């Protein structure tokens, strides 16, 4: 298993460097669990798949809490066959489309309900790509059923699904879709994720 994300943070402000540097402390609690490496386009986070969304959520909330329009954009991946198997990425929980769909939908909903609120409103959209061997349309429809009852479902859009709500349940919903739908434990799933706060544009 290899899992990780290429994450970018875009504060729409002259002081974007200060806002990004000020938010980075939010990653401190994750530095033992994730390998983190930055270049001029994105920050790579590699580690157990269940650590990725909490780290991204805390980074996003730390950047957005001052009221600046901020966007977090990420390419999140598990099981990419082009990456080496890495014991560092071994999940501590069950990951993958394992067990009856109905039970996974229920468990995913419960995880979102249990997610702590952050006090930061967010709008998000994402595309869910199950790669490799044929599409499992039951998986896709099951994931959509989960999303529609997640409490943060906004609407379907072309090529993606839109969410809206507190950043806690929004990131929890993205995490559940990533961890428990689309492909078996060793299968390849990616998410193309955009999360936005404080936009001056009306939804």
Q: Interface with a copy of itself by CB under 8 A: which residues?
A: 4-6, 8, 10-14, 16-17, 38-42, 44, 46, 69, 71, 73, 75, 77, 80, 83, 123-125, 127, 129, 131-135, 157-160, 162, 190, 192, 194, 196, 199-203
Least separation in angstroms between residue 114's CB and a copy of itself is 26
Rounded CA separation 125/144 (Å): 13
Alpha helices in the chain (DSSP H): 16-23, 49-64, 101-113, 137-148, 167-180
Instruction: Using the minimum distance from each CB to a copy of itself, give the nearer residue, 29 or 81.
Output: 81
Least separation in angstroms between residue 195's CB and a copy of itself is 9
Least separation in angstroms between residue 91's CB and a copy of itself is 18
Instruction: Using the minimum distance from each CB to a copy of itself, give the nearer residue, 111 or 194.
Output: 194
Least separation in angstroms between residue 52's CB and a copy of itself is 12
Rounded CA separation 134/120 (Å): 38
The DSSP H or E segment spanning 197 is: strand 188-197
Short-list 55, 64, 66, CA closest to 197: 64
Cβ(55)–Cβ(45) below 8 Å: yes
Instruction: Using the minimum distance from each CB to a copy of itself, give the nearer residue, 35 or 103.
Output: 35
Instruction: Using the minimum distance from each CB to a copy of itself, give the nearer residue, 38 or 110.
Output: 38
Cβ(109)–Cβ(148) below 8 Å: no
Cβ density class 29-53: b for 16+ within 10 Å, e for less = ebeebbebeeeeebbebbbbbbbbb
Instruction: Using the minimum distance from each CB to a copy of itself, give the nearer residue, 69 or 111.
Output: 69
Least separation in angstroms between residue 107's CB and a copy of itself is 25
């Amino acid at each position: 298993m290899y899992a990780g994300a290429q994450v970018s943070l875009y504060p729409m402000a002259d002081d974007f460097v200060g806002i990004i540097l000020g938010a980075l402390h939010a990653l401190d609690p994750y530095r033992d669990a994730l390998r983190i490496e930055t270049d001029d386009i994105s920050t790579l986070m590699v580690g157990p798949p269940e650590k990725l969304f909490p780290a991204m959520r805390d980074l996003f909330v730390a950047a957005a809490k001052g009221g600046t329009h901020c966007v977090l954009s990420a390419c999140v991946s598990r099981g990419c066959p082009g990456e080496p198997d890495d014991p560092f990425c071994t999940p501590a929980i069950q990951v993958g489309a394992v067990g009856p769909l109905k039970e996974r939908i229920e468990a995913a909903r419960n995880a979102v309900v249990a997610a702590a609120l952050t006090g930061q409103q967010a709008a998000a959209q994402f595309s869910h790509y199950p790669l490799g061997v044929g599409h499992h349309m039951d998986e896709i429809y099951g994931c959509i059923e989960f999303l529609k009852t997640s409490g943060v479902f906004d609407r379907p859009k072309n090529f993606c699904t839109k969410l809206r709500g507190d950043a806690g349940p929004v990131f929890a919903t993205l995490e559940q879709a990533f961890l428990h739908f689309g492909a078996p434990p060793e299968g390849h799933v990616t998410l193309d994720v955009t999360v936005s706060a404080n936009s001056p544009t009306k939804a």
